[in-house]
Amino acid sequence: MKTAKPSLDAPAVHSDTHGEAHDHAHDHGHAHSHDRVEGASVESALAMAEAYCRERGEKLTPIRRKVLELLLASGRATKAYSLLDEMRQIHPGSAPPTVYRALDFLLSAGLIHRIESINAFAVCHDLTQCQHGILVVCQQCGNVTELHEPKLRQALVAQIEAAGYRLAGDGIELKGLCAQCQESQANPADKAAHPGAPAAPQAAAQSSSAS
């Protein structure tokens, strides 16, 4: 995204999440988990998104705002039908096209990512300056971590192009299992509670379709 958005003064973090400020113009890399955002931090993020939309001459309508709020509160990749169910609890008359139009807008604005491997959506980890990193997606719980490693990404794209391919979109995804899901699978009791869980992490990378 070319236009930088205002910074979020109070990012919500969990105990395993780093809260320091990041400058994506630097070549050193960062990894960011999509943890649940709560309370005032959700409001700060929404205010930041509204300011960014105004800069673009667009409007974060109440429906768009609510869909973004639900994704922020979720803290992980969420499928469209789950968002629709949540919307219907708030606005019983919500129809699928309403949610999909809101998602399309948020995608075009760069405020969210489409997670192709699990057909879901997640908020961009940094609403101050959304750039395309490498997404690591847990195939069991939908947790998403963004790796911002510019040199690694450039090298990967160069290898893909050297092989005669062109990426269909800007996103690159790695599929796997997060640490919590790996721990859950290692516990027999958790295995019994989740019989459909995948047996081992996957390491396949794929490019996501253009938004």
Which amino acid is present at 137?
V
What's the predicted TM-score (pTM) here?
Answer: 0.67
With b for 16 or more beta-carbon neighbours within 10 A and e for fewer, the 171-207 pattern comes to bbbbbbbbeebeebbeeeeeeeeeeeeeeebeeeeeb
Quick check: is 201 in a domain?
yes
Query: Domain span at residue 130?
Result: 30-207
CATH number of the domain residue 54 falls in: 1.10.10.10
Quick check: is 149 in a domain?
yes
List pLDDT tens digits, range 2-18: 333 333 333 333 333 33
Whether pLDDT at 122 is above 70: yes
- Bridge-based pairing of strands 120-123 and 134-138 is unpaired
> Residue for token digits 């070549």?
27
Quick check: is 134 in a domain?
yes
Whether pLDDT at 196 is above 60: no
Quick check: is 37 in a domain?
yes
Quick check: is 12 in a domain?
no
Number of structural domains found in the chain: 1
117: left (phi over 0), alpha (psi -120 to 50) or beta: alpha
List pLDDT tens digits, range 148-178: 888 988 899 999 999 999 988 777 889 999 9
Helix (H, G, I), strand (E, B) or coil at 25: coil
Quick check: is 25 in a domain?
no
Task: Name every residue whose Cβ is closer than 8 Å to that of residue 43 and which is 6 or more positions away in sequence.
Answer: none
Q: Most confidently modeled of 11-15, 60-64, 110-114, 190-194?
A: 60-64
Quick check: is 97 in a domain?
yes
Quick check: is 20 in a domain?
no
